[in-house]
């Protein structure tokens, strides 16, 4: 057994890191304060091919295997969780179409998603429905060789700029997934602002007011099809969030090492104070553990193991709770400076907290993990 | 002895139905032993074990509900691949 990235994976990780250092890190505070991702960063992600990370090269994607996909999300997450969130949801929808789409849907959408011509968003959550996803209230009624969608989605990452939405609705009492273009009559979005974290991830409410889509826009079957479409997309989402949290953890550790090596109190550097060392040790250990859990999850996904789903849950659960703890300690180490916009650790803490809520809250992960053990 | 399709399915399912004597016609999802992740794991297992891709039109709960239903699906998909 060898737990080691391949030479190719290491090269790719270095390339991701260089991209993030140049194009994301210098602007992350601005994305957070202005609560938006400018078109320029979307353009840079597109040019680098990262929006098509999971898609085959035949449709303009990068055809990444799962470990490398995870490394991409780790590096981007280290720079900015808002950017990483957008990559996540776009990849989730792209993957759902790749995996479950009809020939026509794949031909229509995969090239556009792969080249970043259209941003995709995942429309599951509603004002009254979060964890209890099966209870979604948006309806789809068959009409004129298509479906009329009515309802409201909330907390939709990328919803302000997406050109394509994967909307989940109840169709004759069975949950079903639909691809809905922004231009469809009856679809309207409203920005959501003032969030605690991932403030730049362009969240929106999506209002569907008798929005008709042709039958060809239904993705997967009715009922069970929803389960397969939603769960396989959420699995990709959870895995990328887990890897993004490893990135947050690393960012917290790097910031804390730097700060404690520069700042002095009581005549010595902070790093010489044992209670600071304790927090640094916990960060080092937990970031390393989360990294290995993500590697395992990526490996099991890549090899289509039946143990992959459980491994992804464990990785997401541990990495997100680890990120919050690491960020909490990073702010503590920075003291009052940690509460100031001049230092990034306050943003890491706010973003980390969001990671404990999205893609299945910490409590849902705990229920699913224990449930899968029997 | 070469394991049959039915035997291979039972071996996989035995992990999820440890205290239940699963019959060929039992509806997995109605029994209450499994959660929604099971559906995804079942799809993955069937694809890996029997070497075919489950497509959009196969995504009907009736194809996955019981051992009998799965055997029918697998035989249909693998016969198509062979022919």
* Residues A251 and A362 grouped into a single domain: yes
Query: Which residues from chain B sit within 8 angstroms of residue A306, using beta carbons?
Result: 12, 41, 44-45, 48
Cβ atoms of residues A63 and A53 within 8 Å: no
Instruction: Let me know if A75 is a catalytic residue.
Output: no
Domain limits for position A154: 120-224
Tokens of A77: 């997450």
**Chain mean pLDDT for chain A:** 95
Number of domains in chain B: 1
Report the alpha-carbon angle A234-A235-A239, nearest 5: 115
- Could you say which of B37, B45, B59 has the minimum Cβ distance to residue A224? B59
Q: For chain A, say whether B12 makes contact (Cβ under 8 Å).
A: yes
In a domain, A140, yes or no: yes
In a domain, A276, yes or no: yes
In a domain, A32, yes or no: yes
* Separation in Å, CA of B67 to nearest CA in chain A: 17
Q: Which residue in chain B has the smallest CA separation from A223?
A: B61
Range A150-178 average pLDDT: 95
Check B39 against A231: CB less than 8 A apart: yes
- pLDDT at site B36: 67
- pLDDT at site A154: 97
* Residues A191 and A141 grouped into a single domain: yes
Q: Given pLDDT bands bounded at 50, 70 and 90, which one contains residue B16?
A: confident
- CATH number for the domain harbouring residue B74: 1.10.1200.10
Q: Given pLDDT bands bounded at 50, 70 and 90, which one contains residue B33?
A: low
Among the three residues A114, A140, A165, which one is the final residue of a domain in this structure? Answer: A114
Domain limits for position B62: 5-82
* Residues A156 and A49 grouped into a single domain: no
Check B61 against A223: CB less than 8 A apart: yes
Q: Does residue A224 have a pLDDT over 80?
A: no
In a domain, A50, yes or no: yes
Number of domains in chain A: 3
* Residues A138 and A218 grouped into a single domain: yes
Q: Does residue A227 have a pLDDT over 60?
A: yes
In a domain, A317, yes or no: yes
* Residues A108 and A126 grouped into a single domain: no
Range A172-194 average pLDDT: 95
Give the ipTM.
0.71
Among the three residues A114, A131, A161, which one is the final residue of a domain in this structure? Answer: A114
In a domain, A35, yes or no: yes
Q: What CA–CA distance (Å, rounded) separates A66 from B30? A: 34
Among the three residues A224, A257, A292, which one is the final residue of a domain in this structure? Answer: A224
* Residues A180 and A245 grouped into a single domain: no
* Residues A131 and A53 grouped into a single domain: no
Q: Which residue in chain A has the smallest CA separation from B63?
A: A224
* Separation in Å, CA of A232 to nearest CA in chain B: 7
Task: Read off the pTM.
Answer: 0.92
- pLDDT at site A28: 98
* Residues A267 and A200 grouped into a single domain: no
What is the number of CB-based contacts under 8 A between chain A and chain B? 55
* Residues A269 and A367 grouped into a single domain: yes
* Residues A286 and A321 grouped into a single domain: yes
* Residues A133 and A83 grouped into a single domain: no
């Amino acid at each position: 057994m060898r737990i080691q990235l391949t030479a190719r994976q290491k090269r790719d990780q270095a390339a991701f890191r260089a991209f993030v250092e140049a194009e994301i890190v210098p602007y992350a505070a601005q994305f957070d304060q202005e609560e938006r991702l400018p078109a320029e960063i979307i353009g840079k992600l597109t040019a680098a091919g990262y929006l098509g990370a999971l898609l085959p090269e035949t449709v303009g994607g990068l055809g990444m295997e799962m470990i490398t996909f995870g490394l991409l999300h780790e590096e981007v997450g280290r720079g900015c969780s808002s950017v990483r969130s957008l990559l996540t949801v776009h990849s989730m929808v792209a993957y759902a179409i790749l995996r479950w789409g009809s020939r026509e849907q794949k031909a229509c959408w995969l090239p556009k998603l792969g080249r970043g011509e259209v941003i995709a968003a995942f429309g599951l959550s509603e004002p009254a429905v979060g964890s209890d996803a099966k209870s979604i209230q948006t309806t789809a009624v068959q009409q004129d060789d298509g479906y009329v969608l009515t309802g409201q989605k909330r907390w939709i990452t990328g919803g302000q700029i997406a050109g394509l939405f994967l909307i989940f609705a109840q169709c004759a009492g069975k949950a079903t997934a639909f691809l809905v273009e922004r231009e469809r009559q009856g679809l309207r979005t409203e920005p959501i602002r003032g969030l605690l974290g991932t403030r730049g991830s362009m969240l929106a409410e999506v209002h569907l007011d008798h929005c008709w889509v042709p039958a060809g826009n239904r993705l997967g079957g009715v009922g069970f099809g929803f389960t397969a479409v939603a769960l396989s997309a959420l699995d990709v989402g959870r895995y990328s969030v887990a890897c993004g949290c490893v990135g947050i953890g690393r960012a917290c550790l790097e910031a804390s090492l730097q700060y404690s090596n520069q700042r002095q109190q009581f005549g010595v550097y902070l790093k010489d104070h044992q209670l600071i060392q304790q927090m640094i040790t916990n960060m080092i250990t937990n970031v390393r553990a989360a990294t290995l859990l993500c590697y395992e999850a990526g490996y099991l996904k890549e090899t289509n193991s039946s143990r992959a789903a459980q491994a992804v849950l464990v990785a997401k659960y541990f990495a997100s709770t680890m990120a919050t703890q690491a960020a909490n300690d990073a702010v503590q180490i920075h003291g009052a400076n940690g509460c100031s916009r001049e230092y990034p650790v306050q943003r890491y803490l706010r973003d980390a907290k969001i990671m404990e809520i999205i893609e299945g809250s910490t409590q849902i992960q705990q229920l699913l993990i224990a449930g899968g053990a029997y | 002895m070469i394991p049959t399709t039915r035997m291979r399915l039972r071996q996989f399912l035995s992990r999820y139905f440890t205290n239940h004597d699963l019959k060929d016609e039992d509806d997995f999802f109605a029994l209450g032993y499994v959660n929604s992740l099971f559906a995804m794991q079942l799809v993955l297992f069937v694809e890996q074990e029997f070497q075919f891709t489950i497509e959009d039109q196969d995504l009907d709960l009736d194809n996955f509900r019981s051992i009998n239903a799965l055997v029918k699906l697998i035989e249909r998909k693998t016969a198509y691949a062979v022919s």
